Amino acid sequence: MDRLSLQDPVFATYAIAASLMILKAVAMSWLTVVRMMQEKGGYRSPEDLRKTPLNPQPDPRQLEPNERVERIRRIQMNDLENLPFFLVAGFLYVLTGPSLLLAQVLLYGYVGSRLLHFAAYFTAQTHDVRATLWTLGSLILIFMTIRTLLAALGV
């Protein structure tokens, strides 16, 4: 069977993990929008102070950083530092022909670590909790990438 087919169980595992991570990343943009609407602030562009249907009562303070909005932006920034690399690393790792079980442990383990990282960051858990969850995902990413590198080098 074609290795890059959604019918292939290992590739389907990757596609499911990748889709969940893409939806997670997109959700951060929408969550930023929701928070900006709740706070009526945390905007960034001068033109956002114009009077429009979405902003009927502009106020210069709307351009000041708003911690409830900034928290989501920090979470999103952490996604941008991690998810694009996971999406490519996971794809290449699947081409090394891992067992289905190992692929599931690594790919779904990564997804789980990122969802828990989000929960910890969103609810302002202690730095050490957040760091532990980030480290778990990062180690999975490094493992998959080194495995791919060795396979491509023919080692």
Residues in touch with its own copies (CB under 8 A): 2-6, 12, 15-16, 18-20, 22-23, 25-26, 28-30, 33, 43-48, 50, 52-55, 67, 71, 74, 76, 80-85, 87-89, 91-92, 95-96, 121, 124-128, 131, 134, 138, 141-142, 145-146, 148-149, 151-154
User: Can you tell me the distance from the alpha carbon of 132 to that of 112, in angstroms, rounded to the nearest whole number?
Assistant: 13
Minimum CB–partner distance for residue 101 and its own copies (Å): 17
Residues forming beta bridges with residue 52, ordered by sequence position: 55
Work out the number of other CB atoms within 10 angstroms of the CB of residue 75: 19
* Cβ nearer to its own copies, comparing 3 with 61: 3
Residue 133 Cβ, how far from its own copies at the closest point, in Å?
13
Give start and end residues of each alpha helix (H) in 49-99.
67-94
Q: Map residue 57 onto helix, strand or coil.
A: coil
